Chain A
């Protein structure tokens, strides 16, 4: 009996090991990919951030956390941190709100919503390198379309050098960024809206709930998952903003649109100072992580809230 049991147990163990090996073999390619292309660069970049190393140097020289300390005495870094924060907050708020409003409008099935959906999504597929150049022309002081229209409609006094004045350059980049990115969020919100059960909506109508009431009491609470996804996406894209200032202003005028990602790129690939660039990149990564976690915490599900609530006996 015991021998038979041992044999069964052995066979079961063998089957389990085989099954685990099979599972591992499926996971292995993905794991190797992540290890080589994510984990190794992350670890190596962190090591570089602790060194004094320009690409023209023979080898990195370990300096501890000096690069991180130097960041807080670096005016350009502090300015780019401030610019990124300003951009991120405004971008996050505007892109989340504007996209939601558009998604709500389109979800109501306004006439020509198919056309509007396509129009709103179209900028997403146009490379920023192209649309950025076009916007550089549109926003030009002397031959730009915006100033031309303003002058034609008698608002010439508002015409200005949109990208070459520190007071308007970041604002211009912000608007272009919203135009460029809101298509994705509109699609995500619309997916969330379509997942809301028609029965609940119909029931609320029968109960006499107004459109506004339905939006605040049914639609928005049911979009919580969409808010989490859209929020993380918006935060990441806000803090990682790069292409727009790179193509449209190169960080100018007078560094007024210099953002963290652009400064990291400039430090690494222009000044070849990869050690210092690694430190900037890590600070940026930490910012993204903190804000993403904050967003997840604020939009956590009710079940998660229950779990987090202290036990009161």
Chain B
């Protein structure tokens, strides 16, 4: 009896010890310093630092340390994480193609179903911005902002060119011939640049994919996996782009300076500008509220444009994973943070709740098309496709260095050599 009693006491003590150590571990995970690696521009546009103070007050014993980075440094992260170490518990900034590399190496966590509860249930997210972040059916990135491609226009100049309808908007276009005509009229009537297209390294691929999606309803070829460079739709996009440049309606200044179109539009030198939708809101800040309109890229009002997102990843080596998740919900996705970035900079919130009571008319277009958009392809070699193949070859086609047929062949041959897989296997 005595022996049994002694064994029970020992077992009880052991149980108490284990449970207290688990509780301690859990409390350790929710206290201490949370190291957040964040791209510098994000802190400038999203009021994250102010909200962080509130987060620290709500979580006694927690402090948040930001380390600012210029851009997502995939190489450094991969090297560091390959050693089983991390200098951040949360990385804010990567897009899904960066995250795919991390996920393939097994360095970032899958958020799992636990994350998507309550106010953050999956149905409360903008689906096109959330869906882009799934790999093999698992979510590795929580989006903090998104974009899709549109044509912004300067209403004062469009009015001068006689392009506005009775409602004060440019009527929607169904094909590229109509958009070409708008650019031509705008140029002739105002003497300004008719249509600028963001053909820099940051938007070239998105603009091609959005234009293709608009005309074809998909960005893929017959196999449903390879980006289409061979169909008549692809040829139509490339033909029209080349024609716009050859006829002097669209400048190629964005080849060298990604922001040339953006700067020129703000200076009142451009009537129509094809880029991300956030630019329209940003332009309003300079040109005046209500002086910027949004026109969908031909066909995208029916087939959707291309939407893409940037998000947050948590390294598996972080000891503060739960705290990092709480930070995402309470700070990054907080309504005040998202609404501020939406209003001032046109950054699309990933949360549906933020799309009401918005002053700018631009958001009406965004809201009505929110879940129509397709997403860029998720390929292991996406960067090679984007920067190594599409950017230089599309520039050659636009400039007429390569004929459209030769360029299409180069593109289709080039993509055949790339790794288009996206699986974690």
B349 at the interface (CB under 8 A from A): no
Contacts of A143 in B (CB 8 A): 263-264, 267, 269
Q: Is the CB of A161 within 8 A of B251?
A: yes
CA distance A266 to B384 in the complex (A): 9
Residues of B in contact, count (CB < 8 Å): 35
A132-170 contacts to B, CB under 8 A, are 136-137, 139-143, 161, 163-166, 169
B241-274 contacts to A, CB under 8 A, are 251-257, 260, 263-264, 267, 269
Q: Is the CB of A166 within 8 A of B399?
A: yes
Q: Is the CB of B401 within 8 A of A161?
A: no
Cross-interface CB contact of B387 among A136, A249, A254, A266, cutoff 8 Å: A266
A255 at the interface (CB under 8 A from B): yes
When A164-B256, A166-B399 are in contact, do A142 and B79 touch as well, CB less than 8 Å? no
B366 at the interface (CB under 8 A from A): no
The 0/1 profile, CB within 8 Å of A marked 1, for residues 376-405 of chain B is 000011011001100111011001010000
CA distance A255 to B264 in the complex (A): 25
CA distance A270 to B382 in the complex (A): 10
Cross-interface CB contact of B255 among A55, A137, A252, A270, cutoff 8 Å: A252
When A143-B267, A266-B388 are in contact, do A56 and B255 touch as well, CB less than 8 Å? no
What residue of chain B has the Cβ atom nearest to residue A250's Cβ? B201
When A163-B256, A164-B256 are in contact, do A271 and B391 touch as well, CB less than 8 Å? no
Q: Is the CB of A254 within 8 A of B388?
A: no
A253 at the interface (CB under 8 A from B): yes
Contacts of B384 in A (CB 8 A): 271
Cross-interface CB contact of A141 among B82, B251, B383, B392, cutoff 8 Å: B251
When A140-B260, A272-B78 are in contact, do A254 and B392 touch as well, CB less than 8 Å? yes
CA distance A251 to B254 in the complex (A): 13
CA distance A139 to B393 in the complex (A): 23
Q: Is the CB of A253 within 8 A of B252?
A: yes
Contacts of B251 in A (CB 8 A): 141-142, 161, 164
Contacts of A248 in B (CB 8 A): 256
B45 at the interface (CB under 8 A from A): no
What residue of chain B has the Cβ atom nearest to residue A253's Cβ? B255
Q: Give B218 Cβ to nearest chain A Cβ, in Å.
A: 27
Q: Is the CB of A254 within 8 A of B396?
A: yes
Contacts of A253 in B (CB 8 A): 252, 255-256, 395, 399
Q: Is the CB of A56 within 8 A of B257?
A: no
CA distance A236 to B387 in the complex (A): 27
The 0/1 profile, CB within 8 Å of B marked 1, for residues 259-274 of chain A is 0000000101111100
Q: Give B237 Cβ to nearest chain A Cβ, in Å.
A: 18
Q: Give A264 Cβ to nearest chain B Cβ, in Å.
A: 13
A226 at the interface (CB under 8 A from B): no
| Chain A residues touching B, majority SS | loop
A131 at the interface (CB under 8 A from B): no
B231 at the interface (CB under 8 A from A): no
Q: Give A187 Cβ to nearest chain B Cβ, in Å.
A: 31
The 0/1 profile, CB within 8 Å of A marked 1, for residues 155-189 of chain B is 00000000000000000000000000000000000
B27 at the interface (CB under 8 A from A): no
Contacts of A142 in B (CB 8 A): 193, 251, 253, 260, 264, 269
A295 at the interface (CB under 8 A from B): no
Cross-interface CB contact of A271 among B78, B254, B383, cutoff 8 Å: B383
Contacts of A164 in B (CB 8 A): 251-256
B329 at the interface (CB under 8 A from A): no
Q: Is the CB of B269 within 8 A of A269?
A: no
Contacts of B381 in A (CB 8 A): 271
When A142-B253, A143-B263, A163-B256 are in contact, do A55 and B75 touch as well, CB less than 8 Å? yes
CA distance A55 to B81 in the complex (A): 11
Chain A residues touching B, range: 20 to 34
What residue of chain B has the Cβ atom nearest to residue A169's Cβ? B256
Contacts of A249 in B (CB 8 A): 255-256
What residue of chain A has the Cβ atom nearest to residue B251's Cβ? A141
Q: Is the CB of B392 within 8 A of A255?
A: yes
A37-93 contacts to B, CB under 8 A, are 55-56, 76
Q: Is the CB of B201 within 8 A of A161?
A: no
Contacts of B255 in A (CB 8 A): 163-164, 249, 252-253
What residue of chain B has the Cβ atom nearest to residue A144's Cβ? B253
CA distance A169 to B253 in the complex (A): 11
Contacts of B387 in A (CB 8 A): 266, 270
Contacts of B269 in A (CB 8 A): 142-143
Cross-interface CB contact of B74 among A140, A166, A254, A272, cutoff 8 Å: A272
Q: Is the CB of A136 within 8 A of B256?
A: yes
Contacts of A258 in B (CB 8 A): 392
CA distance A143 to B257 in the complex (A): 12
Cross-interface CB contact of A161 among B253, B380, B392, B396, cutoff 8 Å: B253
CA distance A142 to B248 in the complex (A): 12
When A55-B79, A252-B395, A272-B75 are in contact, do A161 and B257 touch as well, CB less than 8 Å? no
When A56-B104, A266-B387 are in contact, do A252 and B75 touch as well, CB less than 8 Å? no
What residue of chain A has the Cβ atom nearest to residue B75's Cβ? A269
When A55-B75, A161-B251, A254-B392 are in contact, do A140 and B401 touch as well, CB less than 8 Å? no
Q: Give A82 Cβ to nearest chain B Cβ, in Å.
A: 15
The 0/1 profile, CB within 8 Å of B marked 1, for residues 263-289 of chain A is 000101111100000000000000000
When A142-B269, A269-B75 are in contact, do A254 and B253 touch as well, CB less than 8 Å? no
Contacts of B69 in A (CB 8 A): none
Contacts of B82 in A (CB 8 A): 55
Contacts of A55 in B (CB 8 A): 74-75, 78-79, 82, 101
Q: Is the CB of A270 within 8 A of B399?
A: no
What residue of chain B has the Cβ atom nearest to residue A257's Cβ? B256
CA distance A163 to B252 in the complex (A): 9
B24 at the interface (CB under 8 A from A): no
What residue of chain B has the Cβ atom nearest to residue A58's Cβ? B105
Contacts of A139 in B (CB 8 A): 256
CA distance A255 to B256 in the complex (A): 11
Q: Give A275 Cβ to nearest chain B Cβ, in Å.
A: 14
Q: With A56-B101, A254-B393 given, name 6 new contacts (CB 8 A).
A: A56-B78, A56-B104, A141-B253, A165-B399, A252-B392, A271-B384
Can you give 25 contacting A-B residue pairs, CB < 8 Å?
A55-B78, A56-B105, A136-B257, A140-B260, A142-B193, A142-B260, A142-B264, A142-B269, A143-B263, A143-B264, A164-B252, A166-B399, A248-B256, A249-B256, A250-B201, A253-B395, A254-B396, A254-B399, A254-B401, A266-B388, A268-B75, A271-B381, A271-B388, A272-B75, A272-B78
Ordered nearest first, which 3 A-B pairs have the shortest CB separation? Answer: A163-B256, A164-B255, A254-B396
Q: Which residues of B contact A (CB under 8 A)?
A: 74-75, 78-79, 82, 101, 104-105, 193, 201, 251-257, 260, 263-264, 267, 269, 380-381, 383-384, 387-388, 391-393, 395-396, 399, 401
